[in-house]
Structure 1
Amino acid sequence: MDEFMRELYQDRTGDPQTLAVIVVEKSKMEDAATDYFDGILLVIKDKTSKAWEIKHYEYKDMTIAMHIVNTTQINEWLANSSNRRAIDWLLNGKIIFDRNEYMKNFKEKMITFPEKERESRIGIEFSKLVRRFSDGKSLYYEGHYLDSFNQIVHALHHLARLAVIERGYHPEVTVWQQVRQIEPEIHKLYSELVTGTEPIDKRLELLLLANEFELATKVRLGSAHLISIMNEKHDAWNVDELKERVAMHDYSLDLSMLLEYLVKKGLVDIKLEETKGRTINHRKYIANSYQDMAASR
């Protein structure tokens, strides 16, 4: 295996655009972490290279998947938690080439998880949590219990990832193992929903109440990123301005629902602005924290 791997990556290390090479070997007979290949070669290149290439190789009875990924794509995966297997490879893979200690510094940054990045990730997970919970609650009251179940499971996943990020860690593939140690109460909610023996409608009824409580306790934490953006401006925002501003943070799709939720919770106020029609008003939004600061000046 080592010789097979070496033959595949040795030419890559001579390329000045290659920053690091990481190896992940299959740990058991059926290992989804390596996409059922015997090994993964993760080649990290600088941002000027192609975003992401995959190559599959076979030698005798061994298979290798090579992922050639640039730093922009890596950072996007990290920011959006959109490829948790890759995060697992970065955290736990064996570094076999590291130009100018790029990977060493990168891993240190991952482990320290800078506060600014953490706040943005929490905002993303919270907005998705609000969306999934709201959809699940609506489906429950319409009597669509299986569809509601699916949405609430997703909501709990976002709640779990939010809890992990809050403690300063990146959510991994085994997020529930992380949560069991960090916030066992959330792990218990998930277990009760998935493995409980009561009828599905009863399990959902209890979980909706518990989820409502968890949302309320996380609302200031989860909205901190959006509120900080809203406080950048002295006046109220219209929804399109905010959508453009948060687009890079991956929660513009859930922005309308998130704003409505924060209005209900009293963290965001509505400011009406007259249109040419006079009887119709534009609806704009201003963070309460900004109004509080302005009043105290």
Structure 2
Amino acid sequence: MKGFDIERLAEDEDAVSLLLIANPFSHQPRLDGLDRLVLIVKDDEVADKEIEHWMWDDARVQVRRVSREQLESWIVGSSNRGSAYWLMHGEILVDRDGYLADLRSRLLDWSPLIREQKLLSEFSRFVRGCLQAKQDLKDGQVLDAYSNVLACLHYWAHIALVEEGMHPESTVWEQMRKVNPGIYKLFEELTTSSETLEQRVQLVLLACEFSIMNKMETCCELLIRLIASRHEAWTPAELMRHPDLAGLSLELSVLLYKLVNRGCIREIAKPAPSLGNGTLELKYTSA
């Protein structure tokens, strides 16, 4: 941006990297009403002023501050789907240690770790949504079941796109119409079929459950391999602190439960003297 002192901003912010996105909200300009996005990547967590709005040469600028860990969590998760677009299409203005350039390269090339993290993250939400929808139906809450099954289809669609080496976009159903007509057909069945709402939910839920069984081992490959990487059993907290999982938004308890039932990993109970009263602590190891 003309007259914008990038170096001074980077120095004042103690930034690792700065990224400028000229049209960050091209898919929803009326919702955001902003012309530019400056993404400031920092080493430490951002305690305050995470988001600010500035006016610069008649341009409305959103300034976002984010840690490396948070940015990578956005990319592999679903909490900020625009982050992958920003990184792929933005202009790197400052990159003190080549961090953003390396992350962009890994994202564009679908590095094995990012792909596995993305699959695991989306799959955990897929499983959680499916279980919640089943519970909603059992409780007679058909509308809630519908909402959760619709969310499941979105997670399933994201998984299918990642498997094809594509990044999920905001127009995910346009992507699915071309990439996976089967999932798109289920979306149509759920939203436009003439059957009762409960019948539609039950039909799509069955398809989701079948897909979960088929995709469990491939989508959870990262977690299964991590658990098998040492002889000592893991606690859930130890798993979440591992660098390959740290920062990911995972439904870890649900995944561990499903993997144990499928026989992909083992659950072992060990005495926990610190808890007393004969309490056993559950840990997880390879099958």
**Pairwise CA RMSD of aligned residues?**
3.4
Distance 1:20 1:243 in 2: 29
Shift of 1:12: 2.0
Distance 2:230 2:131 in 1: 29
Letter in 1 for 2:141: H
Task: Report the counterpart of residue 181 of structure 2 in structure 1.
Answer: 184
Cα deviation code 1:257-281 (max 9, x no counterpart): 2222122222123334467899975
Shift of 1:102: 6.7
Q: TM-score, normalised by structure 2?
A: 0.79
Identity %: 28
8 Å CA contact retained: 1:124, 1:249? no
1:119 maps to 2:116: yes
Shift of 1:115: 0.1
Shift of 1:140: 1.2
Shift of 1:169: 3.2
How many equivalent pairs are there? 277
Task: Report the counterpart of residue 285 of structure 1 in structure 2.
Answer: 284
Partner residue of 1:260 out of 257, 261, 271? 257
Letter in 1 for 2:86: W
8 Å CA contact retained: 1:113, 1:170? no
Bigger drift between 16-25 and 104-113 goes to 16-25
Counterparts in 2 of 1:52-63, with a 5 A limit? Answer: 53-58=50-55
8 Å CA contact retained: 2:46, 2:66? yes
Bigger drift between 77-86 and 272-281 goes to 272-281
Distance 2:237 2:100 in 1: 39
Residue 106 of structure 2 aligns to a residue in which SS? helix
Counterparts in 2 of 1:1-297, with a 5 A limit? Answer: 5-7=1-3, 10-14=4-8, 15=10, 17=15, 19-25=17-23, 32=28, 35-47=31-43, 50=46, 53-58=50-55, 64-70=60-66, 72=68, 73-93=70-90, 95=91, 97=93, 105-242=102-239, 244-245=241-242, 248-251=246-249, 254-273=251-270, 282-288=281-287
Cα deviation code 1:217-250 (max 9, x no counterpart): 1111122111111102214334454455486153
8 Å CA contact retained: 1:124, 1:251? yes
Unaligned runs of 5+ in 2: none
Distance 2:193 2:252 in 1: 33
Unaligned runs of 5+ in 1: 289-297
Q: TM-score, normalised by structure 1?
A: 0.77
Distance 1:233 1:18 in 2: 34
Residue 219 of structure 1 aligns to a residue in which SS? helix
8 Å CA contact retained: 1:110, 1:170? no
Larger radius of gyration: 1
Structure with the largest fraction of helix: 1
Distance 1:208 1:235, change over 3 A: same
Distance 1:104 1:269, change over 3 A: closer
